[in-house]
Amino acid sequence: RIAYVNGQYVRHSEAAVHIEDRGFQFADGVYEVCEVREGLIVDLTRHLNRLDRSLSELRMTQPMSRAALTLVIREVLRRNRVRNGIFYMQVTRGAAKRDHFFPPEGTAPTITITAKSTDPSLLAKKYATGIKVITLLENRWDRVDIKTVGLLPNVLAKQQARDAGAHDAIFVTRDGMVLEGASANAWIVTPDGKLVTRPAEHGILKGITRTTAIDVAAKLGLVFVEREFSVDEMHGAREAFMTSATGICVPVVEVDGKPVANGHPGTVSGNIRDTFFAIAEKTAI
């Protein structure tokens, strides 16, 4: 495998950044994960737009132009022969003597890009059986709208889910409203057939898959409502599912040990998944 690190293509096993990198010391960095399917990058423009936003919200420097970045991404995918998989891209505020203040003017941001192939049959299994989730009280900072590498609460939540025999955790507010998963956005289909997901103005990351799934819903003529919903509503839903670039649209069949509807994946999430790739923006490698 080959990785890109600050202007160079290096062997993945030897790819490294400095120990005084601010990503390492302060989680002072942002990232993107993008799906690649059938040799096409899915929703690249939206992912790069969100990266720009994350960088500017944290007053970080753009590592390179969008044209150059796109070139490098495609080169990393080509060198790793990825047809179906993902690439991961991370930008930090750079390496500098440890100090909470921003590093000296001119400190170059650190950029790394990796890519890997994934096994579609693993996802197919998740689609067929659905996943179990647990709910956890939100304990993250209030800027989760920025895709930062500061993911410790998410890491602990995922592990807690695994320890409980579930696949994922959903963060909820003190008054029982659903925020989002540890690495995916949450959706339900109400008993009367409406597709619902929480507004992305506050409290969640505005998922790219979420945005494109809204486009897909419109194409399919589904009734879509952007509003908050509770854990109770999730229990009583006709269907529940999670969206992310790595899973696209994964059915949720159990919440906190209680089945959603009949405990089997629903048809709406399947329909969205089946139409997703056709609707999404596709960029050739």
Among all residues, which ones are annotated catalytic? 147
Residue 208 CA to residue 280 CA, distance in Å, equals: 10
Phi and psi at residue 242, in whole multiples of 5°? -125, 140
- Across the strands, what pairs with 127? none
Token pair for residue 266?
């629903």
Q: Give the CA-trace dihedral at 211, 46, 171, 117, to 10 degrees.
A: 110
- Cα atoms found within 13 Å of the Cα of residue 272, Cβ hemisphere only: 33
**DSSP states along 237-275:** -SEEEEEETTTEEEEEEEETTEESTTSS--HHHHHHHHH
Of 206, 188, 267, 180, nearest to 47 by C-alpha is 206
3-class secondary structure, 98: coil
Q: Where do contacts with ligand PLP occur on this chain (CB under 6 A)?
A: 33, 180, 183-185, 205, 207-210, 243-245
Closer residue to ligand PLP (CB): 107 or 246 = 246
Closer residue to ligand PLP (CB): 31 or 102 = 31
Token pair for residue 16?
């490294």
Closer residue to ligand PLP (CB): 95 or 157 = 157
Closer residue to ligand PLP (CB): 103 or 197 = 197
**E strand or H helix at 172, and its extent?**
strand 168-172
Residue 57 CA to residue 199 CA, distance in Å, equals: 20
User: Which amino acid is located at 150 in the chain?
Assistant: G
Closer residue to ligand PLP (CB): 17 or 182 = 182
Closest separation in Å from C-beta 274 to ligand PLP: 17
User: What Cα–Cα distance (Å) separates residue 9 from each residue in 134, 150, 180, 284?
Assistant: 40, 26, 35, 20
Closer residue to ligand PLP (CB): 110 or 209 = 209
